[in-house]
Amino acid sequence: MRVLFVTTEMDDFVRVGGLGAVSAALPRALRPFADIRIMLPGYRDIIEQLTHIQIVGRCPAFAEMPACSLGRAATKDGLPVYVLLCSQLYDRPGNPYGDESGRDWPDNDIRFARFASAAAELAMGKLDKNWAADLVHANDWQASLVPAYLAWRGAKVPSILTIHNLAYQGLFPRDSLRRIGVPESSFHIDGVEFYDQLSFLKAGLVYASHLTTVSGTYAREITTTEFGCGLEGLLRLRSDASELTGILNGIDESWDPRSCAQLAQQFGAGDWVGKRANADYVRKQFGLAVSRGPMFGIVARLVHQKGIDLVLSAADEIVDAGGQIVVTGSGEPALEQALIDAHRRRPDAIGVVIGFNDAQARRIFAGSDFTLMPSRFEPCGLSQMYAQRFGSLPIGHQTGGLAETITDGETGFLFSRPSRESFLGGVRRAFSAFMAHDQLDTMRRSAMGRSFSWSISAGSYSALYRKLASA
């Protein structure tokens, strides 16, 4: 079965958030089930890393979108990758979505519509003369127009859209319709229109054959007013028609502290001396005081969704109780600055590095006793899975994938509301467990024994692919 996996991030080449990790791991887990090929925009970082790109097709200019070429290459382990080559759209500094100061590119509508239009052409067999898709798997708003372009061109290729985070919708002014060749007739409440704007994500929600999201809990949550971001009515319709499925993400096999090469010292369950060696290393790296108290780690995008403000409001109580906090990530400038200010106030107990480095993140999970995840909502979340495998007990808000992957009181701690008091309730329970050595030992062993294998997710996706392809 031939599957085109359309994404704008892949950890092999470029990563902004969890989508990059999923796009690197899930297609690989699906290889036993399908001829799966990835399609990516030809960002500068990707072109520089691919050693041999063969041009297999060309897309003529369309509406106000420039002509481009389609290249085919492969990852080091042989996974086929298509890249859309158009230097005026993708050869830029910054990240895939914005400039070096974090501002979205003003032509993101053209950048990602061009990408989606080309993906539809590839799926239909019009670009690579040797390959067409039996099914398209599109991811998030940037690829959400793929099912729409397929429908507008009368193609019978079934499609899945995976919603990794409903809060990011790809909204553009009505004038974008003309720029990217979207039929005016689709601009209405049951089409691509969302409060008089063009919504890329809504287009996918309307036109995809099936919708998935990254946990069963989030699949239910997004049909409610609280979490539906204004799209809950449409999502309820799709859910009631059995066209919305939650499939939990996994994590790859490299998240094993017994073999992870980036750690200061490898360790397994019960080897708490090895875990402490990582804690000592992290304290030294972050300039923290020597301590026998618990270390709380945060590895996250520093945005309002992640509840970073709740951590800041509770930081003094954590430190006054003998805890230390280490943070790595990047995001909203105001939250970055607030964390830096907290570090300056308590440099011996609060360590902050703005930016993301995979090896450093792994050492924080390995060295910390607890991982803080007070997210207001969390479609799936990966950090709580990484943390458990590395013996760092997550403290998370009971929402989305956190509710599904943290067993309260056994592998971590859940709290009920995204408020300072509720969050501190979870933190206080963690302090109590830290003092009760037998409980801490039992919980760490339980957490490290969890399996979050991608093979489970891949099996569910494979079954869904076959169902849709045979419909």
Q: Where are the domains of the chain?
A: 2-250+455-470, 272-451
Quote the tokens at residue 44.
């500068």
15 has binding-site annotation:
yes
Q: What superfamily in CATH does domain 2-250+455-470 come from?
A: Glycogen Phosphorylase B; (3.40.50.2000)
**DSSP code of 107?**
T
Q: What is the pLDDT of residue 121?
A: 98
- For domain 272-451, is the CATH number 3.40.50.2000? yes
Q: What's the rounded Cα separation, in Å, for the pair 315 and 308?
A: 10
pTM of the predicted structure, to 2 decimals: 0.93
pLDDT for 314-343, tens place per residue?
A: 999 999 999 999 999 999 999 999 999 999
| Contacts of 71 by beta carbon, 8 Å cutoff, 6+ apart | 42, 50, 53, 54, 55, 56, 82, 83, 84, 85
- CA-nearest of 318, 322, 365 to 342 is 318
Q: Give the pLDDT of residue 471.
A: 83
Helices 308-320 + 333-345 axis angle, to 10: 10
Amino acid 333: pLDDT: 93
pLDDT, tens digit, for every residue of 343-362?
999 999 999 999 989 999 99
pLDDT attached to residue 379: 96
Residue 101's pLDDT is 80
| Pairing outcome for strands 54-59 and 68-74 | antiparallel
DSSP string, 336-371: HHHHHHHHHHSTTTEEEEEB--HHHHHHHHHH-SEE
Distance between CA atoms of residues 84 and 79, nearest Å: 16
Residue numbers in the chain where pLDDT is lower than 70: none
**Integer Cα distance of 29 and 25 in angstroms:** 6
Domains 2-250+455-470 and 272-451 share a fold: yes
295: amino acid identity, one letter = M
Name the DSSP class of 282: H
Question: 134 CB contacts (<8 Å, ≥6 apart)?
Answer: 1, 2, 3, 157, 158, 469
